[in-house]
């Protein structure tokens, strides 16, 4: 991974961490390098150009898992990502809402989630064949 790619990644992750959303990005070799490395998943280019669909554990879309905590809100694509956001940001208290289920982190620990189960339908070796579906 080149220095330019790492710098762009840092900027993308810093924006997600601070605001819950990706920064505007210019298409180019660094961004495409991050895409090839599975660091980012790009959204289809629209009128505003290319966008960041995912930069794990964060998501630019709003169709997945919502993380809320004092002082901020973030989105991931699934509960794994949501708990990953809690870990990456070092959140002691947060709610991770995925579908109809909310996982609660309090005092740095996950509270009992009852009979919730994280279901993985696609075998690991095929996750990146269609990461949006996965």
Query: Which residues bind to other proteins, rule: CB under 8 A?
Result: 1, 6, 9-10, 13-14, 17, 37, 39, 56-57, 65, 77-89, 98-99, 101, 103, 110, 113-125, 127, 134
- Cβ closer to other proteins: 48 or 125? 125
- Cβ closer to other proteins: 47 or 115? 115
Containing 105, the helix (H) or strand (E) segment is strand 101-106
Report, in Å, the least distance between residue 96 CB and other proteins.
Answer: 9
Rounded Cα distance between 109 and 131, Å, is 28
Report, in Å, the least distance between residue 90 CB and other proteins.
Answer: 9
Report, in Å, the least distance between residue 86 CB and other proteins.
Answer: 7
How would you class 69 by CB atoms within 10 Å of its CB: exposed for 0-12, middle for 13-18, buried for 19 or more? middle
Give me 33's structure tokens.
């390098």
- Cβ closer to other proteins: 49 or 127? 127
- Cβ closer to other proteins: 62 or 125? 125
Let me know how long the chain is: 134
Report, in Å, the least distance between residue 68 CB and other proteins.
Answer: 16
Q: List CB contacts of 121: < 8 A, sequence separation 6 or more.
A: none
Rounded Cα distance between 68 and 91, Å, is 10
């Amino acid at each position: 991974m080149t220095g330019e790619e790492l710098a762009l990644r840092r900027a993308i992750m810093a924006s997600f961490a601070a605001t819950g959303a990706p920064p505007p990005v210019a298409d180019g070799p660094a961004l495409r390098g991050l895409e090839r490395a599975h660091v980012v998943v790009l959204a289809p280019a629209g009128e505003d150009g290319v966008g960041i669909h995912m930069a794990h554990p964060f998501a630019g879309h709003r169709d997945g898992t919502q993380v809320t905590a004092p002082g901020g809100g973030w989105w991931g694509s699934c509960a794994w990502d949501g708990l990953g956001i809690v870990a990456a940001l070092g959140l002691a208290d947060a709610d991770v809402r995925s579908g109809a289920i909310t996982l609660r982190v309090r005092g740095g620990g996950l509270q009992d989630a009852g009979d919730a189960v994280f279901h993985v339908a696609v075998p690991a070796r095929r996750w990146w064949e269609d990461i949006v579906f996965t």
